[in-house]
Structure 1
């Protein structure tokens, strides 16, 4: 009797589980050598008389349109009894069918050969899948459950790695469309390492045919250090939906370098094997993407929730979501001992110069820079732009604002870690999407209204530059402003390769991208000469003749030699007289491990 009751209970539970699944997929890779997958999808419980299915136009973590339907063909549709249905195309990314019986079967071929965090790549090394670029979906069924079976290439020893819930064999489950589309998959002959943080498992899955076991072990120790160091910022891990978080590391020569955060995983492809520089150079992406499990995935802008797969997704909060994450990626590397303090300051110097010498601040605030994401975040266009003069990456801009806020708070014996924890507890742990005003008021609560209003009113709602010289001095870093001779445009093989910087000597003289410089004064240029080194032989303010070629004709213009502002950041030496005990303590508090 007990056995009968148990069997009946199991049957009923299985029936209920299966009855809730309205979208089922099977994907196979017989023609992987030509980058094709065969996908069969079954959609049930359809209520609309005219069923619609579509390909996504955007992808979680990316903000531009990508039009994934361009790589879908050989589409065939039948009803639940196998009767052929005619599909019409109301637009380039969707299909509609009438006359179904509540069920439709759709088969199609997918071409995929771009292995980054946005697209998919299929060949005989792997099936690297971003699901919006892979699977059609039925908008009517978005709230219902999904099942997918991967028909892996056993002849290639393929296995499946994903945050999707494992159901049985190579079949996986998602509670709804949003979770399904947010779940990248690596199907390959990969290797795994893992460790536990309390009752949750952190898994590192590596597809890297050239790396040795020793290199994987050494790299995994770095990954572990990053994870444990970043936990210290917030004091806890999020609760992963199925008790696991997985890094999907594809370090293969056919992959494209990228990083893409997801709720319980990250896709981190790179063309660098651990054996060919990746052991040192790939860890920064790990640090950036893991920090996103707090900042973006759960501490989430209201403007991105829910994510809309039918259009570009716009947010004014990326200076915080991406920028503050960028601040913490290298900071966690230096705190964990993976990066030296000197190397960290070198990286800060490059980003500092990029942000604070850009003309872009006169056009857009950090919030408005965030609005540019659909035009720049892996977006493709053929027309020229003037982004050299009008745009500053919200990653870089936000990271510099994170630095400024951290050091400004430390001036008050506070710190950014504690502010992030306050925001996490209010909006991240609770998963209540935030607005920029929520961030503003949280800072007012933590550091005082005067401080919070000053920071947001001057540096977020406007494009002001904080007093970094004073702030950096508090942690034993000197900031020196330099004025060096500068042309104002990059020149390679004598040709100007970007739009001249507004206000520079090249801009004022009327030079354009594409011009070829032949002669400066009496000095003839060749392909190996730096234009700034030539200009540095003249004094600032001197007017000289420049011979150049444009549209096949030789011309001459007058150029006034000019300087441009740049910055240099240096760590004060440990034995420096300026480095007193308080400054040393401030630096340790800022850069040393929190473990």
Structure 2
């Protein structure tokens, strides 16, 4: 017994000697600053490089978090300052003297969303890669973090990290730590049990407890309906999943999935439109705890904190999730079926009418993620003509696949279950060919090869008119109204083209471009978009005078036919189609 006790004490001591620890405090929260201290024991190398991440789990673009770090210093076990050098903009190479390295720095953070950190006297909203330095050489070590709370602000900690005691939490390794956003504030909480696991909803807002109760009822419905798609919840690492919602005016609208939690941020309070406007993000992000977090594209593994990962599969990972976030709300009774059907038109028109099909298929659109997923640049882009969001593209393809499968007496739910059982529960990363093979196993090789060859490897569009008709839904061109083909904005009675003109549109063919000021149409001075629309009646050619770079020019524009469609329930649909529609949208 004595030997066992000695062995236990030795193992415990050795684990502590190999654990990296952090402490973060918020005395200067009023000015968006946190002070962070880190302790790296038992460092064997002559020096240790610590760095700030350049990427964040769930985001696909680079983010330069190091720009908000200053006041850096390093010491050894005796408190003696250590020399360090900057080998690149993101790293600090610290000289080791006695095997123990302590660092301290100040972090500025003032963006509350799914990527960055925000520190003020309302909360400390922490995305870990934007907050804590790390040592790549020590990434496999366990981590402990102590959140030094502002007791005067009644702050509490909400996170997927494992609680040790008090304000101390732990992670088994660097990856789990970086994947664990934390909301520190005076939040409210609701929870319920599902098959022996706990679903928590933490909300930081200025609303009432009654509003939270009403909203949480919708959250529960979404959780249960999404569970029905896969037949079960994932096994959460500590037996619970936590929504970290922050609906405050100082937040920025966003949602970001993580392994056992998700960030939800919005400027809309539950009272001011948030009850309806925010619930879609809840549905989207929770669906990710299967699709993305565990059914995981190989391009995202292993996640690289110093560069960006590129995936071929975001049309499936994000796009099919987007398809389900609307469908689930209908199944849960949160959205009326008619509203859900009508709402399909916005995404459909965006994808259907885009000229970008000429350049990229869904796989290649997924490859564009590092340039568009909250990425920033100062030079203009031509996204209107060469990019379709993989969220939207994948969503309408998910709709097409679901309705195509239903024509064979199959459905997308059961296909997603197959992906879950093969790649999610096993946590074996998949690629595009794996999705195709799983579809082949489920629906037949000919069906799968046809879908992938036409719509995934190529950028053709399915026959949505036939597919929607099969479930008693009409797809109709809006009307014969004349179509200008450019986004117009009026400022101080001056009309500008405010976005790139879309290739093939009347404005594009007339040579008009973003930034052009429309001076007159057919010799008449115009001061609003409405005046231009009124002058297009009759589809007559328009003589347009416009100003570009302070020089007036003229061109002739031939109005086109409005390319947009409406999607609506067909009141004259056959009984068989109505029955299929009801099965598609029914609560599970």
Deviation of 1:72 (Å) = 0.2
* Aligned residue number for residue 453 of structure 1: 449
Partner of 2:380: 384
Alignment partner of 2:86: what SS? Answer: strand
Q: Whole-Å Cα distance in 1 between the matches of residues 486 and 164 of structure 2?
A: 57
C-alpha separation between the residues in 1 aligned to 2:470 and 2:67? Answer: 54
Contact 2:488 2:529 in 1 (8 A): no
Aligned to 1:558: 556
The answer to whether the Cα contact below 8 Å between 1:287 and 1:333 also exists between their aligned partners in 2 is yes
Q: 1:586 aligns with which of 580, 583, 586?
A: 580
State the TM-score, normalized to the length of structure 2: 0.97
Equivalent residues in 2 for 1:471-550, closer than 5 Å: 471-482=467-478, 484-493=481-490, 494-527=495-528, 529=530, 531-535=532-536, 537-539=537-539, 542-550=540-548
Aligned to 1:417: 413
Are residues 273 and 10 of structure 1, via their aligned partners in 2, closer, same or farther at CA, if it must alter by over 3 Å?
Answer: farther
- Report if the CA contact (8 A) 2:54-2:306 is conserved: yes
1:65 corresponds to 2:31: no
Distance 2:16 2:235 in 1: 26
Q: Matched residue of 1:85: which SS?
A: coil
Give the CA deviation at 1:272: 1.0
In the TM superposition, structure 1's runs of 4+ consecutive aligned residues that sit over 4 Å from their partners are 4-14
- Measured on the aligned residues, the alpha-carbon RMSD in Å equals 1.6
Tell me which of 368, 371, 375 is aligned to 1:375: 371
* In structure 2, C-alpha distance between the alignment counterparts of 1:474 and 1:29, rounded to whole Å: 58
Query: Which of 237, 247, 250 is the aligned partner of 2:246?
Result: 250
Aligned counterpart, 1:155: 152
Q: Residues 491 and 531 of structure 1 are in contact (CA less than 8 Å); yes or no, is this contact kept in structure 2?
A: no
- List per-residue Cα deviations over 1:488-542 (Å, max 9, x = no partner): 110111100011110111111111100111211144311352533432x132xx4
Do the aligned residues in 2 keep the contact of 1:484 with 1:565 (CA within 8 Å)? Answer: no
Separation in 2, partners of 1:544, 1:362: 29
Deviations 1:94-145 (A, max 9, x none): 0102243222100000000000000000000000000000000001001111
Please state if 1:172 is matched with 2:173: no
Q: What SS is found at the alignment partner of 2:563?
A: strand
Q: Which has the higher mean CA deviation after the structures are superposed, 138-147 or 99-108? A: 99-108
Aligned equivalents of 1:27, 1:153: Cα separation in 2: 11
SS of residue in 1 equivalent to 2:245: strand
> What is the CA-CA distance between 1:560 and the residue it aligns to?
2.1
2:308 is aligned with 1:307: no
User: Is the CA contact 1:544–1:560 (under 8 Å) kept in the aligned structure 2?
Assistant: yes
- Which residue pairs with 2:80 in the alignment? 83
**1:251-302 Cα deviation digits (max 9, x unpaired):** 1110000000000000001111112111121110000000000000000001
Q: Which runs of 5+ in 1 are unaligned?
A: none
Residues in 1 aligned to 2:470 and 2:127: alpha-carbon distance in whole angstroms: 45
Query: Which structure 2 residues correspond to residues 219-368 of structure 1 after superposition, within 5 A?
Result: 219-368=215-364
Partner SS, residue 275 of structure 2: helix
CA–CA separation in structure 2 for the residues paired with 1:393 and 1:30: 42
Q: Specify the alignment match of 2:126 in structure 1.
A: 129
Q: What TM-score comes out, normalization by structure 1 length?
A: 0.96
Change (3 A) 1:530 1:463: farther
1:396-411 aligned within 5 A: 396-411=392-407
Q: Which residue of 2 aligns with 1:570?
A: 568
Equivalent residue, structure 1, for 2:16: 18
The CA distance in 2 between the partners of 1:316 and 1:174, in whole Å, is 30
Counterparts of 2:534 and 2:141, CA distance in 1: 64
Deviation at 1:418, TM superposition (A): 0.2
- Indicate conservation of the 8 Å contact 2:17/2:42, yes or no: no
TM-aligned CA deviation for residue 561 of structure 1: 2.3
